[in-house]
Structure 1
């Protein structure tokens, strides 16, 4: 455990540190380790793009659209993620929320009397209580050691003397310089960061700085990992955010509504990644601008046109694989089916046997990619208003049954097995 040093002796950090009670500095510092918070130390949630229309999704990522800021400025979303982690039933689930490799690196840094460990985040300092709570309660929840999830200094973004820092990187560089100038005996600086553009900017900063000759400086890129909130909880928080915005900005009122529901077989994230990797080679030479975005969207196999409901009896047959059922079971299935928004439904597996792209201008950004699939279990009960099971990009897309002759199809040498969920889905739009 590092020995405590009076806070006032380290005034270089006073203007930046947002949680004074968490700061304990070693006496002799030769190494500085800086850890980014979001998606480096903690697998922070990001908006589930499958739940929102494009305008609302962009607005959530912006700090300027809603009163009090968007997703990254509002404590409610990070707080919900933390609450979900506290409801986990076993200690092994820690890796879902915390990057255990980085947690271990931070533990070693904190335990080393010659090292100062700093948690440095671009989040603003109104997150201070929440982040401190996350560190302390997670340590107990997951049975960690006394040195785990502890830092000599926890720094969040405050306004600079001249106002807000233009960017998170400006803030981080400013604090980094103060730390380097203050700790005169530093011999090494190590930064853990998930954003590759920040990694490159830090490396460039080190190369151009005068102190780089006397210091060994390195930036370690941490592969970012995100979590997703429970869809129902996330939507409730977004609706609450908009409600608060409208109450404080009546002249800039924002209204939300659900899009028309689509019914079909929706691919899970693992299948999306697998499908993308296997088809890139075949589609080499075609512009992949939209193709790359598929992994963030609702790729699915539509079985009916928009606003064309299917009979409840067909829903129950697909759900039960046409097994015998009574009215009570059927009622429960229908209720469950129409209550699903962005969650898993009835699992159905397919084999993707062909990939196709729309004919015409192959270099156009609007090149549409399609996939033709067949059920893995030919005996399983399925229903569709269409002849073929064709995967489309998003719930705003229709099945291309009327233009199949305009699509150039390439057969996959090795079919790709995918997992889908039979459900209905709509998006929240503004």
Structure 2
């Protein structure tokens, strides 16, 4: 037929057997159960797992820079496959397998899809399938346990094998799923409809093209004697919501991936290819960090025009700048060191050319020592597109505030950082290091293990002063800075859509995360300007072109102001004792009349992505893992 969908299927299924029986079909499943008889089935319902049925955690863009997220998603970057190919990452969801399994990962499921699965079970003429591109060998037992704990019933649970039951050549996730769906439709030849629930836009389109090609082949009799008639196919795009691991757990798990990778390289013969990695950090600035509650209070003082769109303005109000990049020792001593607390009071507001909104502040008490990078201590509340933080220093006229707006708030000295994975050698600096940290660092100085952040230093002091309290309370970071300030951040991301951040799959990044910008896939990349990176998901294992995106993840000090939020950030999963994540809902559609009605009531348009996922946990204990 010439289309990509059919060509991929045809190439992958070249060795497929023509015998389609329930026995042959059952070989695709990791379940040991009898499939429903062929003549009983009139409908096929197929559900994807990651971010369709289950709110799978993504690499957190408030922890890692863009190239590192791409690297984690690339199955070729690490010996053991990385984020989507190491079952320990999925098992670490929530509070980990040991705690989550007894409570069925409560809060981590898309309950609307769960309801549709129950409806599929009640529909006696429907076969219900869970289909995922995760590897059968790596995830089969774990996913069976997760599904069983939730009480979900499937006729088949199929994960991607290295080779199909009939020696089909499995080159990537989409080829696997199309070979499987072809076998499923040919086996249940009396089925009149097939409904597929999928969150990724690329796969939604791929399935639609595939079903169109399948029906055209049946209509035109292109395969000799007809084996079945056409089938009414519908692919329902499920709106995904980004969720994240507890940041401390996430960094620990990534460190374990790196440790295993480096250990595997050590066992290879000398001269064999492979690069050892280490987690390092990029310091954007040092400042007096403001917690989330005070940020929200300060933002009420930002008198921004009402006609500005969300993309035209970014809200901040999260720090008083001390200096860009790491703080020199002399200045750091002057401000009291990392973790030092200080109180401030708002004295005035200003608007510079309708582009920068800020408040000036004074220390409390007025005799307290301080240092700022601006002529007067100030907090930038909001920046219009194109404006720069440094330009706030040009403000000359400040409007005094009334007593009811003279807010007092506490700050903590800390650094705003992102972590990155780089070669475990003398630092050559990736895009972050070269652009933002222009002075040289040795590997020891720049290694995250060797140079703890302010939060870590602060936490060490707290452990000495209050060891019992420290065991009971974990501070979670706000806005991605690791200063140990209170609060948490919202998490962006998601996976599968134009204009949305995406993290799952291997679209580039490779080993060369040295480049300034991500672009088309560069395999292992190089140290030049295009070393892959970025965080746009393509597939679990597909390495191909991807949407362009900048070298870094979004600047996570940008405060999502409530003016641009139509709904509250969900506060799940249902364990309020662990604030290191948020939950969320999802969307999808249904098969059968009852399911279609639910689809219309429950699922909005695919583009209406909801905020969620919980970004924000602190790294005050990250040093425990290094």
Q: TM-score, normalised by structure 2?
A: 0.46
Does residue 77 (structure 1) correspond to residue 74 (structure 2)? The answer is: no
Structure 2 counterpart of 1:152, from 151, 155, 160: 155
Q: Which residue of structure 2 lines up, in the alignment, with residue 240 of structure 1?
A: 256
SS of equivalent residue, structure 1 residue 94: coil
Pair 136,202 (structure 1): closer, same or farther in 2 beyond 3 Å: same
SS of equivalent residue, structure 2 residue 69: helix
Q: Residue by residue, what CA displacement relative to the aligned partner does 1:84-135 show, whole Å, maximum 9, x if unpaired?
A: 487479979833x100000010111123221110000011111011111111
- Contact 1:392–1:399 (8 Å) recurs in 2: no
Q: Which residue of structure 2 lines up, in the alignment, with residue 400 of structure 1?
A: 390
> How far has the Cα of 1:384 moved from its partner?
7.4
Structure 2 counterpart of 1:258, from 263, 266, 281: 281
> How far has the Cα of 1:196 moved from its partner?
1.6
Matches within 5 A, 1:306-345: 306-308=325-327, 309=332, 310-311=335-336, 315-318=340-343
Aligned length: 339
Matches within 5 A, 1:70-219: 70-81=82-93, 83-84=95-96, 87=99, 94-95=106-107, 97-125=108-136, 126-137=138-149, 139=150, 148-160=151-163, 165-210=170-215, 211=218, 214-219=230-235
Equivalent-residue separation in structure 2 for 1:280 and 1:204 (angstroms): 43
Pair 217,163 (structure 1): closer, same or farther in 2 beyond 3 Å: closer
SS of equivalent residue, structure 1 residue 50: coil
Structure 2 counterpart of 1:282, from 308, 314, 317: 308
> How far has the Cα of 1:203 moved from its partner?
1.8
Q: Which residue of structure 2 lines up, in the alignment, with residue 223 of structure 1?
A: 239
> How far has the Cα of 1:39 moved from its partner?
0.2
Equivalent-residue separation in structure 2 for 1:81 and 1:14 (angstroms): 30
- Contact 1:279–1:355 (8 Å) recurs in 2: no
Question: How big is the alpha-carbon RMSD for the aligned residues of Structure 1 and Structure 2?
Answer: 4.6
Q: Which residue of structure 2 lines up, in the alignment, with residue 56 of structure 1?
A: 68
> How far has the Cα of 1:238 moved from its partner?
0.6
Q: Which residue of structure 2 lines up, in the alignment, with residue 3 of structure 1?
A: none
Which structure 2 residue ranges, 5 or more long, are not aligned? 1-19, 220-228, 267-273, 396-409, 423-626
> How far has the Cα of 1:75 moved from its partner?
0.6
Equivalent-residue separation in structure 2 for 1:37 and 1:154 (angstroms): 10
Which structure 1 residue ranges, 5 or more long, are not aligned? 1-7, 140-147, 323-347, 358-370, 406-419
Does residue 68 (structure 1) correspond to residue 86 (structure 2)? The answer is: no
Q: Residue by residue, what CA displacement relative to the aligned partner does 1:299-332 show, whole Å, maximum 9, x if unpaired?
A: 95452212224325994234xx79xxxxxxxxxx
> How far has the Cα of 1:403 moved from its partner?
7.3
Q: Which residue of structure 2 lines up, in the alignment, with residue 389 of structure 1?
A: 379
Q: Residue by residue, what CA displacement relative to the aligned partner does 1:247-280 show, whole Å, maximum 9, x if unpaired?
A: 1114521122233374434779x98xx99xx999
Pair 186,12 (structure 1): closer, same or farther in 2 beyond 3 Å: same
Equivalent-residue separation in structure 2 for 1:54 and 1:204 (angstroms): 31
SS of equivalent residue, structure 1 residue 255: strand
> How far has the Cα of 1:172 moved from its partner?
1.0
Pair 175,313 (structure 1): closer, same or farther in 2 beyond 3 Å: closer
Q: TM-score, normalised by structure 1?
A: 0.65
Pair 181,53 (structure 1): closer, same or farther in 2 beyond 3 Å: same
Equivalent-residue separation in structure 2 for 1:157 and 1:280 (angstroms): 50
